[in-house]
């Protein structure tokens, strides 16, 4: 699905430069990843665009992911990143997301909670529900096989490295 970032409507024509699959990182929060697309506006301001194949979700994961990308791009470029967008393939529309102080706070709380969970060596049991169908981690998580088996989760947790 990510190969379709070239489809019409994905990019704004106002972007001065567009980078795809751009590696990003934030040393302050210990984050690293890759942005589907980053449009650089004429003044150099990065504008991340995250590609999603489904509809807008009720929970905040997409917005948090975009906020994490914005924080990474701010640290890397020194430019403020006040907004970005989620591109929903199903509707072929962009949903612009403001990187608000509240979203940044939620991001920092989430990063701290994930770090604490990984440091504890215990992962929560797989949810094994509708969320798993679209999850890119399903192959390694194996929610159907591991649902309710906490011991395996402890083993799985040791496979993760926590960036200090
Ligand atoms: S596959 Fe695993 S990580 Fe993904 S949503 Fe299901 S339980 Fe969560």
Residue nearest to atom 6 of ligand 1 (CA): 132
81 and 148, same domain (yes or no): no
Ligand 1 atom nearest to CA at 132: 6
Write the DSSP assignment of the chain as a string of letters: -GGGGGSTTSS-TT-SEEEEEEEEEETTTTEEEEEEEEEE-TTS-EEEEEEESSPPPSSSHHHHHHHHHHHHHHHHHS----EEEEEETTTTEEEEEE--HHHHHHHHHHHHHHHHHHHHT-PPPP--SGGGGG-TTHHHH-HHHHTT-HHHHHHHHTTS----
CA dihedral 143, 103, 109, 134 (to 10 degrees): 10
How many Å is the Cα radius of gyration of the chain?
17
Q: What is the pLDDT along the chain (164 residues), one digit of tens a residue?
A: 555 555 544 555 677 889 999 999 999 999 999 999 999 999 999 999 998 876 666 568 899 999 999 999 999 999 999 999 998 888 888 899 999 999 999 999 999 999 998 888 887 888 888 888 878 888 888 888 877 665 444 545 444 443 43
17: CATH: 3.90.320.10
- In angstroms, what is the span from residue 35 Cα to ligand 1's centroid? 21
- In angstroms, what is the span from residue 44 Cα to ligand 1's centroid? 37
28 and 63, same domain (yes or no): yes
Q: Ligand 1 within 6 A of 141 CB?
A: yes
The boundaries of the domain holding residue 127 are 121-164
- In angstroms, what is the span from residue 132 Cα to ligand 1's centroid? 5
Q: Ligand 1 within 6 A of 147 CB?
A: no
104 and 154, same domain (yes or no): no
107 and 80, same domain (yes or no): yes
CA 73, 82, 163, 35 dihedral sign is negative
Q: What is the pTM of this model?
A: 0.78
29 and 75, same domain (yes or no): yes
101 and 161, same domain (yes or no): no
96 and 68, same domain (yes or no): yes
79 and 40, same domain (yes or no): yes
Domain count, the chain: 2
């Amino acid at each position: 699905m990510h190969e379709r970032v070239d489809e019409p409507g994905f990019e704004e024509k106002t972007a001065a430069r567009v980078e795809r699959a751009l590696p990003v990182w934030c040393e302050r929060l210990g984050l690293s990843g890759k942005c589907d697309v980053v449009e650089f506006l004429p003044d150099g301001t990065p504008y991340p665009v995250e590609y999603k194949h489904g509809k807008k979700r009720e929970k905040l994961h997409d917005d948090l992911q975009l906020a994490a990308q914005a924080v990474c791009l701010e640290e890397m470029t020194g430019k403020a990143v006040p907004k970005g967008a989620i591109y929903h393939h199903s509707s072929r529309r962009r949903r612009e997301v403001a990187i608000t102080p509240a979203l940044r706070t939620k991001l920092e709380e989430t990063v701290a909670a994930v770090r604490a969970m990984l440091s504890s060596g215990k992962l929560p049991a797989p949810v094994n529900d509708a969320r798993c169908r679209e999850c890119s981690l399903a192959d390694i998580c194996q929610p159907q096989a591991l649902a309710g088996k906490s011991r395996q989760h402890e083993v799985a947790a040791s496979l993760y490295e926590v960036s200090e």
